Structure 1
Amino acid sequence: MPVRPIRLSPAAATDLRKIRQYTVEQWGHEQWLRYSDELDRRFEQLSKNPALGPVRDEIRPGLRSAPMGSHIVWYRMRVEDLEIVRVLHATMDPKMRL
């Protein structure tokens, strides 16, 4: 299966900035670098195998989810790319935020 380019939605980009800020404040820059690397690996894994996460049509049609550390990556497959829609903490209610 071909690798799809990854595109972050504006909301996902904001999520990542907030995750970075919180992680640096709580655990330091080195921990952020480690977590950021894990996020990048997860995004790459999803771009190579976009069907990895289950379809979550009950949240929004065509949406999929994949756990990553303390977060859930919410994404959708599109013809031209894999869109990361949101990166939400696992305790957040996706129906309220997606």
Structure 2
Amino acid sequence: MKGDPTLSFYLNKILPTPVEDVSYEKIIEFKRKRNDNLIEFRKMISGFESKLSGASSTSELKALWSVLKKSLQKKQMIWLQSLTIQRLSMH
């Protein structure tokens, strides 16, 4: 699983990335505020890796990938809504 280019590409598309002019202080503040989300995300990926290692067929791998992709999309929507609400409350 480690180094899977498909998963890396997908995660790079959905994970928030700061623009170049964001200060380190803001990035650290963001990480502190989102620590619970980060822990939840790591647990999700770790569980996925465990399931992958137990897969015995290509069809099982595809099914696992589909479940992970749907879970990540759902989480992405929740996180984006949360960020939008946070931005609105800051103005």
| TM-score above 0.5 | no
Q: TM-score, normalised by structure 1?
A: 0.36
Q: TM-score, normalised by structure 2?
A: 0.38
Greater strand proportion: 1
Greater helix proportion: 2
